Amino acid sequence: MAFKSVLRSVSVILILASMLAGKAMAQSVLIPSPPQIAGSSYVLMDPKSGRIIMEENSHERLPPASLTKMMTAYIVERELDEGRISMSDMVPISVRAWKTEGSRTFVREGTSVPVETLLKGVIIQSGNDASVALAEFVAGSEGAFVDIMNQQAQLLGMKDTNFENATGLPSNEHFSTAYDLAKLARAIINDYPENYPIYAEKHFTYNNIRQPNRNSLLWRDDSVDGLKTGHTEEAGYCLVASAKRNDTRLIAVVMGTSSSESRSQEIQKMLNYGFRYYESERLFSAGQELIQARVWSGQSDQLSVGLAEDVYVTIPRGSRDDLESSVDLDSVIKAPINVGDELGRVKVSLNGEVLVDQPVLALHEVPEGGFFKRIWDAIKLFFIQLF
């Protein structure tokens, strides 16, 4: 039995190695330490793999200022996606929304404004009035909308986040972290890609007032296509930005910098470092067969095993050939097997660091075999396990 297990393990490793060796690699590069970043906290993430390339105090709870509006927009986009509202719906502007202090879209009390216009006002201009108007429209009141925001934060795994309003205006128990905000940005990009181009728009005009997007990197770096700025006296100057170069996308977050110029410079340093020294690789595709598994007591003796989702890794440039992969299947796999049943795990590591550890699943079903098939396989298994 031990000999058979070793043979199976070796064969799986060889198959996976051939999958990973599809590209000729450039000479490996030496990677310097990450640059020093002048902010209270920061993080640089690859949204495909979730890999953190660099960070400092990324789990420290801090006031997020208008970065809050990323969640406000995300909730609105979810409502749009699920068909509960539409971009053309007219939103009545309440006195409370009109009077909200801070940055403004300049909506007028007693008028009605399309959802699309208000959503752009939230994302591009960071309008507090637009944020409150949308919150009231979606949930009936800003307070009820905040409950939804906090529930959604938990669903996204934002464990160190609590919202008390839809705008980011200062409040004692209103906080988030650089890491949580990177996860939120990742969800915005991945979950509702049809709306993501709004984050790259450089200007917004409403009531004949043309206002620029405060994310100055949209003018400086063509690869940057979002996301959101924030500033209050308590929070300092904050920025969540995303950029895509070739096939790699990165998300950078910095909180608590000293000026609008500083936040842009620090984010630019992070992005340049990440793109210069790292790359994102898709190792396996959803539904791709990784290995054929032996099935006992089934109508078929073989079963295709693979993954439910695409698997990406973020690795130093030139290191793909150093990846090591293996699949550890259950020692005995018996029918009936349903699509999606877990049958083992796949692991990918680089220089001893595990980058991927995910379950492998049945890609098709194997019904239970007939009576004589089950008896015959039981006898074979008995003798195999004896030796």
Counting residues of the chain whose pLDDT is more than 70, the rounded percentage is 92
Q: Do 158 and 176 meet the contact criterion of CB atoms below 8 Å apart?
A: yes
Tens-place pLDDT, residues 281-331: 999 999 999 999 999 888 999 999 999 999 999 999 989 989 999 999 988
SS3 assignment, position 322 = helix
Half-sphere exposure of 190 (CA within 13 A, CB side): 15
The structural domains of the chain, ordered by start, are: 2-20+282-386 (2.60.410.10), 41-257 (3.40.710.10)
CA distance 223 to 268: 11
Q: Is 66 a catalytic residue?
A: yes
CA distance 51 to 315: 9
Tens-place pLDDT, residues 245-272: 998 999 999 999 999 999 999 999 999 9
Q: Which of 48, 69, 120, 183 is catalytic?
A: 69
Q: Which of 125, 232, 123 is nearest to 175 (CA)?
A: 232
Residue list for the binding site = 228
- What DSSP assignment string belongs to 75-136? HHHHHHHTTSS-TT-EEE--HHHHH--SS-----TT-EEEHHHHHHHHHTS--HHHHHHHHH
272, burial (CB in 10 Å: exposed 0-12, middle 13-18, buried 19+): middle
**Region of residue 19 (left: phi > 0; alpha: psi -120 to 50; beta: else):** alpha
Q: Which of 40, 66, 176, 262 is catalytic?
A: 66
Question: Which helix (H) or strand (E) element contains residue 249?
Answer: strand 248-257
**Region of residue 179 (left: phi > 0; alpha: psi -120 to 50; beta: else):** alpha
**What is the pTM assigned to this prediction?**
0.87
Find the mean pLDDT for residues 22-47.
81
Tens-place pLDDT, residues 145-200: 999 999 999 999 999 999 999 999 999 999 999 999 999 999 999 999 999 999 99
368, burial (CB in 10 Å: exposed 0-12, middle 13-18, buried 19+): middle
Q: Is 334 a catalytic residue?
A: no
Angle at 56 between CA 51 and CA 59, to 5 degrees: 80
Residue list for the binding site for substrate = 228
Least confident of 55-59, 220-224, 262-266, 349-353: 349-353
Residue type, 147: D
Q: Which of 58, 103, 126, 216 is catalytic?
A: 126
Q: Is 319 a catalytic residue?
A: no
Rg (CA), the chain: 26
